[in-house]
Structure 1
Amino acid sequence: MKKLALIITNKYLVASVFFVVWMLFFDQRDYFQQKDRQAELAKLEAKKAYYVQEIERTKKELQDLQNNPAALEKFARERYLMKKNGEDIYIIEDSAAAKK
C-alpha cells in the first residue's frame, strides 16, 4: 500500500498525467479537433481532385469545339436543341434520369 502511495504521489507521474489530459481535452489544438480537421481536409482534397478533373474535361471539350465543326454541331444540337431547316426534333426523356 505504501508503494502505491509513493507511485501516485510521484511528481513526475502527476505532471505527465496532467500534461496528457490537458493535451487531449483542454488544449486549443486538442486530439478530437485535430481528427475533425483531418477529416475535413480529406473531404476538401477529394473535392479539389474532382474539380481539377472537371476542368481538364472541360478544357478538352472546349479544344474539340474550337477545332472540330462536327463536334460544334453535335454540341449545339444536344445542348441547345438547334436544328437544320426542314428537320423535326423529337425529345425522348429517360424515365430513370428524370427520377434522379
Structure 2
Amino acid sequence: FVGIGVNKAFLAGTGPLVAICMGVITGVGGGIIRDVLAREVPMILRTEIYATACIIGGIVHATAFYTFNVSLENASMMGMIVTLLIRLAAIRWHLKLPTFALDDNGR
C-alpha cells in the first residue's frame, strides 16, 4: 500500500515529503481496513513494528526516485523490499517498539 500512495503522489506532482506522508497514510490505512474486516485489533495499535516500516520504505522509495532519479517502478520495488525486510526482521526477532505505560495513579 505504501508504494501505491507514494507513486500516486509523485504522479500528481507533489514533492517527496508529501509523497512519503501519502504513502504512509495509504499503507497504515490499508492495514487498518484489512484488520477491521478480519475482526482483529489493528496492527497500528499494537507494539509491533508496522508504521515504522512504512515510513522507512516510503523514505527509500521517495529518495530513490526524487534524489537519485531511479525510475518510479524501480524506486517502488526498492521501497517495497525495504518495507518487507523490516517487517520480516521484526517478526523473526520479535522486535517491538517501546510502549507508554501508566502507573497506578494514571500518570
TM tier relative to shorter chain: under 0.3
Structure with greater helix share of residues: 1
TM-score by length of 2: 0.26
Larger relative contact order, structure 1 or 2 (CA cutoff 8 Å, min sep 6):
2
TM-score by length of 1: 0.28
